[in-house]
Amino acid sequence: MDLTYTPEEEEFRARLREWLGRALPALPPKPSPDDWPGRRAYDLGWQRRLYDAGYADVHWDASPTMRLIFLEETEKAGAPYVGAGFVGLLHAGPTIAAEGTAEQRARWLPPILRGDEVWCQGFSEPDAGSDLAALRTRARRDGDDYVVSGSKIWTSHAEVADWCELLVRTDPEAPKHRGISWLAMPMDAPGITVRPLRTLAGSAEFAEVFLDDVRVPVGNRVGDENDGWRVTMVTLSFERGTAFVGEVVACRRVLRELAGEARKNGRWDDPVLRRRLGRLNAEFRVLWRLTQWNVSEAMGVPPVERSRDWGRAGGVPGVGGSVFKLRYSHARQELYDAAADVLGPESLDLDRPWVLDRLSSLSYTIAAGTSQIQRNIVAERILGLPKGR
């Protein structure tokens, strides 16, 4: 396994770094965290700048190594995160690129890349979170439409989304993993009610979504009817395998800042804290190497035949993404627990750096599949252990 970069990749890094140096100072002020329409405009504006500069399609139409370099350099430079574009760019878009028809790719991928449209994720339900295949939202076929009824929860960015990647049950009589379909639902369709949810950290990037006889064209189904669970595994592979890469770089930066703060406030004299920060440094270095390994592995996976026009340079991330997601979730929580040790009593001040990040880190062992689910995946699909009964 070769973890070094080619001259072409290093040239890409240098060119991207130079462009970021020119583009970032020209950005407008970032809106308030509670101003989601403003945040949508800000995030999509950044995506449009990437599009105009030729970097927008790096998530799909570049090698996994190029994607890794892109995420590393943009995070190091302090570039805006994908924000409201998260689901479209890192979940729905790659899934449509890999599984959609030529017509679907032509319809949905360019607007995502240009920063014209936002997607949300309609997967989890009140009684189907970790056991996602137990979902009960129904889609009844009526001519050229599905008529969808049910509810979703923790729907990312639903209040500002144009489209929803939606999992529905199209065959209630089939085994639960086999009666599911993956739909692209327009969020302006009649019958949709969105109720924002406020998190422990005070943000409202999630929502409940209620669906009352919402009509979705059959042509909006990605993959075959009742084959949605397989398509979902493609989505989750992207979510667990590459979506958190930039955050590893961010955590390494936070760790350096924590060490600097500890030196200033005297906490560096505590040998227990120094050992803790040293171990975390080793942890995130290993996670970065694991990321490179997963990317190297994905390079050898042939792209899905139907994706020859989009994402042709790289494959779908493998189950190694579950190893990464499992360890990263816990390492992130440990990092911000260490931040609380560095800050001392000031760790209760919501205006201090890292405090809100600590609150949000609590969700990482749940989001994108709980740690328990990731352990099952690792046990069954990597270690070959028998499934639980």
Instruction: Please provide the size of the chain in residues.
Output: 389
**What's the token pair of residue 15?**
């060119």
> What is the DSSP secondary-structure string of 263-291?
HHHTGGG-HHHHHHHHHHHHHHHHHHHHH
Beta bridge partners of 140: 147
Rounded CA gap, 47 and 139, in Å?
33
Beta bridge partners of 125: 128
Structure-token match 């800042």, residue found: 257
Residue 234, SS3 per DSSP: helix
Rounded CA gap, 9 and 13, in Å?
6
Rounded CA gap, 280 and 330, in Å?
11
Whether 178 and 108 have beta carbons less than 8 Å apart is answered as no
Number of H helices and number of E strands within the chain? 12, 8
239 is catalytic: yes
Radius of gyration of the chain (CA): 21
Q: Which residues contact 311 (CB under 8 A, 6 or more apart)?
A: 60, 61, 94, 97, 98, 303
Active-site annotation holder among 239, 261, 305, 334: 239
Under DSSP, the state recorded for 347 is G
Distances (CA, A) of 294 to 125, 242, 315, 342, 382: 30, 9, 11, 33, 13
| Residues identified as active-site | 239
